[in-house]
Chain A
Amino acid sequence: DMKVTQMPRYLIKRMGENVLLECGQDMSHETMYWYRQDPGLGLQLIYISYDVDSNSEGDIPKGYRVSRKKREHFSLILDSAKTNQTSVYFCASSPGTYYEQYFGPGTRLTVL
């Protein structure tokens, strides 16, 4: 069963704290993504990873960084979180262009 998992599902942090969001996939997909979803804005791409240690900025990378040390695992890091980073974050994986992106269930992050 093809699956993308995300941990944690819910997270509350204070402004200035560091945040680590984890994503895993069991499909051996090369490409993985991090998006954020805000009301009325759809899904905005933060970072894309083409394979281990091969990461590229998306449309809104400022304030975020990523790490991919294993093909099945992709992390999103917020150093010193800000209140405007309150959002729902989705991880996805894909075999490539023209192929389906498989999304995880999301992490709802609140930064107070």
Chain B
Amino acid sequence: QQQVRQSPQSLTVWEGETAILNCSYEDSTFNYFPWYQQFPGEGPALLISIRSVSDKKEDGRFTIFFNKREKKLSLHITDSQPGDSATYFCAASTTGGNNKLTFGQGTVLSVIP
């Protein structure tokens, strides 16, 4: 059973548009949600994260919106740039969860110049 689900699997936007990547989860004990960015041939790297006590986290052009009641979150990338083209993973963990992260299957973002 997939504990963390992402949609869409792939997304194409024009340069300057806002890309919206969605994530949902099953386990109500999850309380920490990092998003990782992965470029081809590289390992994932932390992009931005949010804890369940917040409903929004902003870092430059990247914003996470979190809805605890619906167990959903989304990553908004405003003014998308070709350099943002990558795979984005939503992940989740819980306090006392033995330091484990559960990853979604990823969304491949392509930004067309």
Binding site for B on A (CB under 8 A): 4, 31, 40-45, 48, 50, 56, 58, 90, 92, 94, 96-98, 100-101, 103-106
- From B44, B46, B98, B99, A43 is in contact (CB under 8 Å) with B44
Beta-carbon contact of A100 and B46 below 8 Å? yes
Residues of B within 8 A of A56 (CB): 98
Residues of B within 8 A of A90 (CB): 43-44
Given contact pairs A42-B89, A97-B32, A92 touches B99 in the complex (Cβ within 8 A): no
Q: Which of B13-21, B59-67, B75-83, B101-109 contacts A (4 or more CB under 8 A)?
A: B101-109
Tally chain B residues at the interface, Cβ within 8 Å: 25
Beta-carbon contact of B89 and A43 below 8 Å? yes
Residues of A within 8 A of B93 (CB): 97-98
Beta-carbon contact of B98 and A4 below 8 Å? no
Q: How far is the CA of A48 from the CA of B97 in the complex (A)?
A: 12
Residues of A within 8 A of B32 (CB): 97-98
